[in-house]
Structures are given as C-alpha cells and as structure tokens.
Chains A and B, each alone.
Chain A
C-alpha cells in the first residue's frame, strides 16, 4: 500500500461512531514528539464564582441555592479574585462548571488570574492575539494558532483548520478568533459536511495511485498559473510587482503543501444530510447544535490523527451572540444572560428573578466545559493528547461587567512533558496578561519565542507551569 493510501472508514451512518485507533495506520501521525495545538474559544465570559475551585481551606460557593446571596454584595462582585499571591493545588475540588472535566484532572492546568489583553467584547479578537484590536479592522497581529501553524503546521496539507458552531460567514473583531496577520481575519467552517468535503472528499475511495495522480494534477494547475503570472509580471511597474509578489508567494506555498499528503488514514463517512425520516438536517439550526458540535469535534480530531493538520481552532458561536440553548432548557439569550447573571438586573424590583439567569448562565458555561472535555477525550482516544496543548479560552472573564481580568482558562495536555499538568494554579492577581501564557505555549511547541502580541503585555513565560 502506498504512502498515501486511504481506507474507507469503517461502518458508519454518521461520523459520531467511535474511530478505532487501529485504523490509523501511519507512523508519521504517531511519531513521538509531534506537537499539536487546539484552541477552544467561547464568547461572553463565565460566572467565576462557579468556575474556580476554592483555594485549599475554603469551601465551595454553594450552588444552586442562591437564596441567601445578597445582590448588593457577592453577586455584584466587579472582579472576582480569591488571592493576591501565587498558589498551586493538586487536590482541587471540581466546581459546578468544571465538574465535567474532573475525569481529565491529571492532564489539566487550571489557570487562574490571567487577564485578557483587551477588555469587553473586542477581547474576542484579543484573546488569541494579545493585542488591542481595531474595532472595525480586527487584530493587530497574527493569533497564536497562526504563529504555531507557521512552524508546527508547515509540513501538513492544512497549516491550520478552523471549526465553528453557528459562526458568522465573514471575518470581524467579534467574529474571528484566528487572525492570519494584521487585519486578516479567518472565517471558520461551520458546516461539517463542507468540512468533510475539504478534508476527505477527494481521497474517499481512491487507491494509492489514483491519489498520487490527483495530487500531481493539482500541482500542475498551480504551475500553470505561475507560468501565466510571469508573463503578466513583466508588464508591471515596481510597485505593482511588489504586490504581485504576494500572489506568487502564496501560490508557491499552496503548491508545496499539496505534496504533503496525509499518511494512511481512515476516511470517515460524510456527516448525514438527512435524518432517519428523510428530512434534511439543517446543521445551523439551534436544535442541531449538540450534534453539529459532535461532528465537528470528530472531524477535527480525525484531521489531527490523519496528520492533515496539527493546528486547529474551534469557535462556539461568536462574540456578543444572543444564541439560545434550548437543549439545555435555556430560553434566554446568551448575551443578556452574561450581563444579568451575576448582578441584580435593573428591573429586579419588578419581580424579575435574576437567580434564574444565574443558573442558566452557569448551565451554558458547563456545556462549554463539556464540549472542551469531549475534545480532550477524543484526542486522548487517539493517543494524541500527551504531545498536544489544548487551550480553552474565553473573550472575557466576568460576564456581568464584561471584565477581562481573571479569564476562565484551562489548558490540557503537557505538550510532550513541557507542562506540569494536574494542577490548579493561581497567579498573583493583576500580574499576567494572556500574552505570557501564549509565550509558554509557543515554547511548549518548540518555538523559541520570548514575547507575544503587544509589547506591554509581556512579562515573560509562565515558568510556574513548566515541568
């Protein structure tokens, strides 16, 4: 069997079926020390009192009995901070929101008291770039996944892949977490069938020689374009020639990558277009979100297992979304909930029960923990977790006032032993921006970085996390 042989996926009606690691035949994918990075990105903050485990000696904040909670006090906490000094705890008690992650506790780092570089909604673009974005144009520089992709992702067909759930079809400060470069937002793919087409369609059913032929043909298309370009280039002035260079560079890079076909790999079945009654599945529909999420995770992890890519972002909705969560029994809007949950809303005196909002908001946060936990679990199933770093990040910290201080951050995987996992780590409050965490992650990927993003966000890597 040739290097680029593809197997038909096993049985399958939907891709939600478990993929057996034994189907992954290649050696490249499982080579020791192959680093991988995933960022799971959610908007609209969290309810920090129910997110962070209590420090040793403190008791867990009671939930859901909030009847004694005085809106004038605890519930209006502007910035939730539990400590001013460094602390670490290996025996952390799962909070309401983090409970779904307890099974992965040995592989996790809970990262308390790290601040986003940018406050409020634009923090969505700030969280992976470490810059203050322009509200119209977006990021000032590339996001961490793109920096990693340029190194770690240079030898795979896709330098990075970008998955979304009910995301927007255009880039933007509130719509894109990943930025190729300054003002160049990346639009995630929200349709798992379309993503399947990108990843697997061409190879599905091909034998090795057919696949080889296909790839050669693709390269020749780009060759021809480059030939056509050179005759055009001769007619250009200096300025336009410089701009046109971009075109040539990008084409050569795409051409080079086509040679980097994946190793032998199980091709999954395409996600179903119709349900069992023959009705079309609208994957953007709200009631499809849990299933679409599942499909997207499977495709992302399989793309990693097949070494089609080593870098991915996964976006749950977009910033300031008003997405509803009917599968959780939550019928209020996410953005509204984020504001209302942790404070008595303005119309509390009209009999408005803000405690419901708090419960709903916590349910949504917990759902995001479950999605993240599933990504971690699937990476583990394919024996990919230990060499990976999987970050769960949020655009803001406290939803109530859209504060950026003390982001709810979790990192999974030790990136090949670089991180000392299994700990809840609390930094000195107000000291570190997320830029420092990104420097550590870059170093864990084997990239010799000392700074990331905006200059004034850097104190250096978070060596407390390193092994």
Chain B
C-alpha cells in the first residue's frame, strides 16, 4: 500500500477539486515532452528493483527485534488457543493506530492505555469463560504436580509459541501451586495462570532475536515458525509447524519450503495472502461508500458488502482454482457473484447465494469490479482522477505529490451537459497541471464506460463515452494507448512495473516493515523467481519467506547482552 496518499478517496467534489489543482505540468499534447524542469515524479516499486542484480555488499539482513502482533493476528491467535470462545473484535479494536501501511506492519502500532485496558478486559473475559477441560484435561481428574507441570508446559508453549524457559516454567508452576492452595480450587489457579500468560509480552509480541552472540544470527526454529505462519497465514503456527520447530527440522530449507507450501496450498490457511490483496487493493473500501439514492436507488449496504465479497472470492478463485498468476488476476474474463449481485450488475446467474464465476469481457480482473469502480467514484458520478490515481499508486507503485494549495483559483466549474472527461481535459491543458495528471487521468479515462456503481453505461451527461486511455511511464513519456477497460487491464498486466509492484508490496506485507535498500538483494531474488514462475502469486509468497534474509538478523544497538 502506498504511503503517499494525497488525493482523497472519499469521493467528494472537494477532493475532485483538490486533485485537479495539484499539478505542475501540461497535458495539452500527450506526446509532448515535459515542459517544466522539475525532476520526474519518483515512483516504481520504491526504486528498489533494478534490471541488474544489486551489489551484495550493499545488502544486509534486518535488525533483530520485537514484532507486535497485529489486530487480525491477535484475533487468530485467540481463536486458535480458545476454539469456540467468541472474541469480540470491537474489544480488541478499542483503540487502534491507523496506518497507511499494512496491518501487519509492527512499527505502526502504538501500545496505548486504552488498548492495554481492552486487552486486559479480553484476557479476563477469556480466562473466566474458557473450558478448562479443553486446555487442561488432567485437572478434572487429579490436579497433582505432574498435571500442573504438564498444563503450564503445554499451554505456555502454545501461548508463547515456544517452549517455556526453565525459570518461566518454575514461576508459573509455583504460582499455580500457591493460588491453588490459597483458593482451594485448582480451576481458579488455572484461570489465573491463563490470564497471566495472556497479558505477558511474550504472548503479545513475537521475537526475532535469534540465538547466539554473533553479529549475524539465525532466527530460532520457533521464531521462524511464527514468522512463516504469521507472514503467510496471518495466524499462529499450527501443531504441525510447531512440531517441525521442536525437532529442529525447520532449519532445513527443504522442510521449511514444504511447510510454507502446505500453508499456501489451502485458501483457509493462507489467510495472510488473501488479506494482502484486500489491503493492497483496498478491497474493503467499497463497503463504506454510499451512493445518491436518487441516482442509484438499488445500491445499498448489502450490495456494497457483496462487492467486498466479490473481490475476496475472485482472489480466491484465481489463486486456488485458476492458474494463480498476476496476469490472470488482472485480466480474467470473469468475476464472482451471487444472484443478488449478478442481478445488480445485470449479469445472468443460475440463482442462489453461491458465488460462482460470471463470464464477462467488457471489463476484466481486479479493475473490472465494483470494489474498484464503485469505490473510486462520487455518490453519483465516476471519478476519473481517483481511478487513475489508484492505478498509478497501488498497481504501478508510483507516487503523485500533493497538489499545491495555491492553485484553487484557476478552476473553472464544469459546464452543464459537459462530460467529466472533457472538463478534465480542458482544465489540465492549461497551466501546469499535466505533469501529474498525465500519470492519472489517461488511466482513468479507460474506465469511463463504468458508472459510479460499476455498471456499464453509454453516455456521460448525454455525451457519448470516449474510453480511450494511455499509459505514461514515470518520466511522463508516452508508453502505449488503449481503448476501454479490458485493453487497459491487458496493458497493465503485461507491464513489468505492475508485477514488480506486487512483488515489492507483498514483501512489505510478509516481513511487516517497509523495505529498505539493504533489502534490495532479497527483493531482486524474489522478483526473479516470481518472473521465472510465470507470475505465480502463491509462488511469490513462498519465495518471500524462503529468501535467505528472511531468517537472518543482525544484532541491534547494544542489545547483544
């Protein structure tokens, strides 16, 4: 997800205006070179992926440290520890730092008092209600010393995702004994022990500290198991993965790869992969928009939610039922819909609530869906700039600088009966608007046949649609032209910039931090493998966690003690 979000995605006339005025070039002749002397807009996948392999000397593993579990990761962790115990998401979300990055990005979380309060409330609630027979079966028979030790050892290992150290084992065991004596009830002691473990930083964070005193260390097998599982599955390691950590075999790259592929094999396990596509391409956003009921009386919250689901189901279909490639994700000539949504779009459907493939050709892939077309539109109209801006930043990993505030004065209002395209072209051909808007508007033009709720239309304010668009590179140089949404999708899917973009973004998602130049070698390798695999997205995720740097850390600061 791009860190540079200059143009409001909340469709509003104000945002349109802001977007309009923030430019410094000209778009009069689309093939003309840039007129101004400003350096080209920096972009591409962070400038970290070149054609040549980077100098290994410039690369280094990341620093050892702590990673706080993200909200969805914490939810999944609770769910695994306490099957059947409902965890209220609102409780966890009581205070949350918003972020432009991925939810997996540990650096953006803040541990605030309200957040700790809600964690504490959750720990109390869960420990009070958990079925002790499920987590400590021996207690019911005989809460003897061996049973307590077994409970502490087993539950501690699953909670901390590693075996307890000897002193931890002692601490919890003697705590249990004292509580059991004081209350005369082993169950009380067990619940107290559970809540203590749940409030421990060893539960709330995962470590990437490695073992040993060298400057460069490998993650312990337990840390690696968590890094793989949270990275790809957005969830704690399961028993099978923990077993591979326990017997040390996870250190073997072949075994590790087999485990990664096992996680990636099933959509139910590869939750992180699906979450990545939802976050990178803002799949939830359409669920929050509302439309003018005078213009779109049949668009309601249900349709909006179905559009969110359409996107999720589509990603799942492409990655696990179709060929799983980036090209197909961009250009598939089908979408996924149930009867209600198909009816809304005007497609045929055999009936029922089942999401099934709906063939279509006018618009394809990710950019042919309501999650893009309806999300990036005003309540009543399409939003050419927003759509183009989204493609530039999220699909091409480009970045558009914030519009200078001083240019409000020169905006001419759109005339009655004027098409949005005509108006934009008029506005952007004067002054210096074209430099930035060449990067956005011609991409957005291609989708003008799709209205503010993602349905086909033939005219804009009575004017026939002109859906001819163009792709310019980061330097503002014309690359190619296309006609309509399908051709646009084809062009983008074939562009190396888009596949490199998804490679870099998924790296950031999996490792939970923004890549730096020190990651250039890992990124280069991952991207090479991705290309060799023919753009296979599951393969891409596998390569991310298999890259050499993934399991290596260097000691940070004075933390080597």
B93 touches A240 (CB 8 A): no
Q: How far is the CB of A227 from chain B (nearest CB, A)?
A: 8
On chain A, the residues within 8 Å of B443 by CB distance are: none
Q: A237-B558, A239-B65, A246-B111 are in contact. Are A198 and B121 (CB under 8 A)?
A: yes
Asked if B209 is at the interface (CB within 8 A of a chain A CB), the reply is yes
On chain A, the residues within 8 Å of B95 by CB distance are: 171, 180, 184-187
B202 touches A250 (CB 8 A): no
Which of B24-32, B97-105, B250-258, B432-440 has 4 or more CB atoms under 8 Å from chain A? B97-105
Asked if B110 is at the interface (CB within 8 A of a chain A CB), the reply is yes
A237 touches B93 (CB 8 A): no
The one of B89, B124, B556, B561 in contact with A234, judged by C-beta atoms closer than 8 angstroms, is: B561
Closest to A121 in B: B10
Which residues in window 189-230 of B have CB below 8 A to A?
192, 195-196, 199-202, 204-205, 207, 209
A336 touches B294 (CB 8 A): yes
Asked if A26 is at the interface (CB within 8 A of a chain B CB), the reply is no
Q: How far is the CB of B213 from chain A (nearest CB, A)?
A: 12
Asked if B90 is at the interface (CB within 8 A of a chain A CB), the reply is yes
Which of B112-120, B267-275, B464-472, B494-502 has 4 or more CB atoms under 8 Å from chain A? B112-120
B98 touches A238 (CB 8 A): no
Give Cα distance in the complex from A224 to B171, angstroms.
Answer: 10
Give Cα distance in the complex from A169 to B93, angstroms.
Answer: 7
Q: A171-B96, A240-B556, A346-B294 are in contact. Are A250 and B116 (CB under 8 A)?
A: yes
B120 touches A120 (CB 8 A): no
Asked if B181 is at the interface (CB within 8 A of a chain A CB), the reply is no
Asked if A135 is at the interface (CB within 8 A of a chain B CB), the reply is yes
Q: How far is the CB of A235 from chain B (nearest CB, A)?
A: 6
- Render A168-201 as a binary contact track against B, CB cut-off 8 A, 1 for contact: 0111111000001101111101110010011000
Give Cα distance in the complex from A228 to B168, angstroms.
Answer: 9
Closest to A137 in B: B98
A159 touches B113 (CB 8 A): yes
A185 touches B96 (CB 8 A): yes
B557 touches A250 (CB 8 A): no
Q: How far is the CB of B244 from chain A (nearest CB, A)?
A: 24
Please, how many residues of chain A have a CB less than 8 angstroms from a CB on the other chain?
A: 68
Give Cα distance in the complex from A169 to B555, angstroms.
Answer: 39
The one of B66, B100, B557 in contact with A244, judged by C-beta atoms closer than 8 angstroms, is: B66
The one of A183, A187, A191, A345 in contact with B93, judged by C-beta atoms closer than 8 angstroms, is: A187
Give Cα distance in the complex from A346 to B461, angstroms.
Answer: 13
Q: How far is the CB of A218 from chain B (nearest CB, A)?
A: 8
On chain B, the residues within 8 Å of A232 by CB distance are: 66, 201-202, 205, 207
Give Cα distance in the complex from A37 to B39, angstroms.
Answer: 52
Give Cα distance in the complex from A184 to B95, angstroms.
Answer: 6
Closest to A347 in B: B294
Give Cα distance in the complex from A246 to B88, angstroms.
Answer: 24
A336 touches B195 (CB 8 A): no
On chain B, the residues within 8 Å of A225 by CB distance are: 196, 199-201
Asked if B292 is at the interface (CB within 8 A of a chain A CB), the reply is yes
The one of A180, A234, A340 in contact with B114, judged by C-beta atoms closer than 8 angstroms, is: A180
The one of A169, A181, A254 in contact with B120, judged by C-beta atoms closer than 8 angstroms, is: A254
A322 touches B301 (CB 8 A): yes
On chain B, the residues within 8 Å of A3 by CB distance are: none
Give Cα distance in the complex from A244 to B288, angstroms.
Answer: 34
Q: How far is the CB of B323 from chain A (nearest CB, A)?
A: 34
Give Cα distance in the complex from A74 to B473, angstroms.
Answer: 51
Q: Size range of the interface on B?
A: 35 or more
Closest to A250 in B: B116
Asked if B5 is at the interface (CB within 8 A of a chain A CB), the reply is yes
The one of A186, A228, A339 in contact with B201, judged by C-beta atoms closer than 8 angstroms, is: A228
The one of B65, B97, B294 in contact with A240, judged by C-beta atoms closer than 8 angstroms, is: B65
On chain B, the residues within 8 Å of A236 by CB distance are: 65-66, 209, 556, 559
On chain B, the residues within 8 Å of A253 by CB distance are: 113, 116
On chain B, the residues within 8 Å of A239 by CB distance are: 63, 65, 556-557
B112 touches A170 (CB 8 A): no
* B interface: dominant SS: mixed
A250 touches B89 (CB 8 A): no
On chain B, the residues within 8 Å of A246 by CB distance are: 110-112
Which residues in window 271-313 of B have CB below 8 A to A?
288, 290, 292-294, 301
B93 touches A170 (CB 8 A): yes
B559 touches A333 (CB 8 A): no
A181 touches B110 (CB 8 A): yes
Asked if A17 is at the interface (CB within 8 A of a chain B CB), the reply is no
Q: How far is the CB of A294 from chain B (nearest CB, A)?
A: 21
Asked if A317 is at the interface (CB within 8 A of a chain B CB), the reply is no
On chain A, the residues within 8 Å of B168 by CB distance are: 228
Which residues in window 83-124 of A have CB below 8 A to B?
119-122
B65 touches A119 (CB 8 A): no
Asked if B12 is at the interface (CB within 8 A of a chain A CB), the reply is yes
Q: How far is the CB of B174 from chain A (nearest CB, A)?
A: 12
Asked if B9 is at the interface (CB within 8 A of a chain A CB), the reply is yes
Q: How far is the CB of B448 from chain A (nearest CB, A)?
A: 21
Give Cα distance in the complex from A278 to B64, angstroms.
Answer: 57
Asked if B134 is at the interface (CB within 8 A of a chain A CB), the reply is no
Asked if B14 is at the interface (CB within 8 A of a chain A CB), the reply is yes
B199 touches A222 (CB 8 A): yes
A228 touches B200 (CB 8 A): yes
Q: How far is the CB of B269 from chain A (nearest CB, A)?
A: 25
A184 touches B290 (CB 8 A): no
On chain A, the residues within 8 Å of B91 by CB distance are: 194
On chain A, the residues within 8 Å of B111 by CB distance are: 246-247, 249-250
Give Cα distance in the complex from A304 to B558, angstroms.
Answer: 48
Q: How far is the CB of B124 from chain A (nearest CB, A)?
A: 8
Asked if A456 is at the interface (CB within 8 A of a chain B CB), the reply is no
Give Cα distance in the complex from A175 to B484, angstroms.
Answer: 36
Asked if A241 is at the interface (CB within 8 A of a chain B CB), the reply is yes
A180 touches B93 (CB 8 A): no
Asked if A73 is at the interface (CB within 8 A of a chain B CB), the reply is no
B94 touches A186 (CB 8 A): yes
The one of B63, B123, B559 in contact with A235, judged by C-beta atoms closer than 8 angstroms, is: B559
A254 touches B201 (CB 8 A): no
Q: A171-B93, A232-B201 are in contact. Are A254 and B12 (CB under 8 A)?
A: no
On chain B, the residues within 8 Å of A119 by CB distance are: 14
On chain A, the residues within 8 Å of B294 by CB distance are: 336, 340, 345-347, 352
On chain B, the residues within 8 Å of A170 by CB distance are: 93, 96
On chain A, the residues within 8 Å of B201 by CB distance are: 225, 228-229, 232, 244, 247
Asked if A422 is at the interface (CB within 8 A of a chain B CB), the reply is no
Asked if A251 is at the interface (CB within 8 A of a chain B CB), the reply is yes
B561 touches A254 (CB 8 A): no
Asked if B249 is at the interface (CB within 8 A of a chain A CB), the reply is no
B561 touches A250 (CB 8 A): no
Asked if B8 is at the interface (CB within 8 A of a chain A CB), the reply is yes
Asked if A355 is at the interface (CB within 8 A of a chain B CB), the reply is no
Q: A120-B12, A180-B112, A238-B559 are in contact. Are A187 and B202 (CB under 8 A)?
A: no
Asked if A438 is at the interface (CB within 8 A of a chain B CB), the reply is no
- Render A335-372 as a binary contact track against B, CB cut-off 8 A, 1 for contact: 11001100001110000100000000000000000000
The one of A184, A187, A244 in contact with B110, judged by C-beta atoms closer than 8 angstroms, is: A184
Q: A180-B95, A187-B94, A235-B561 are in contact. Are A194 and B116 (CB under 8 A)?
A: no
Give Cα distance in the complex from A171 to B96, angstroms.
Answer: 7
Asked if A217 is at the interface (CB within 8 A of a chain B CB), the reply is yes
Q: List 15 A-B contacts (CB under 8 A).
A: A120-B12, A120-B14, A135-B5, A138-B98, A170-B93, A171-B98, A197-B125, A222-B120, A229-B200, A237-B555, A240-B559, A241-B557, A246-B112, A254-B113, A335-B290
> Interface of B with A (CB < 8 Å)?
5, 8-10, 12, 14, 63-66, 88-91, 93-100, 107, 110-117, 120-121, 123-125, 168, 175, 192, 195-196, 199-202, 204-205, 207, 209, 288, 290, 292-294, 301, 555-559, 561
Known contacts A134-B5, A232-B207; 12 further A-B pairs (Cβ under 8 A) = A119-B14, A171-B96, A172-B98, A217-B192, A239-B557, A240-B66, A240-B557, A246-B111, A250-B112, A251-B116, A254-B120, A322-B293
Nearest first, the 5 closest Cβ-Cβ pairs linking A and B are A237-B556, A237-B557, A237-B559, A238-B557, A250-B116
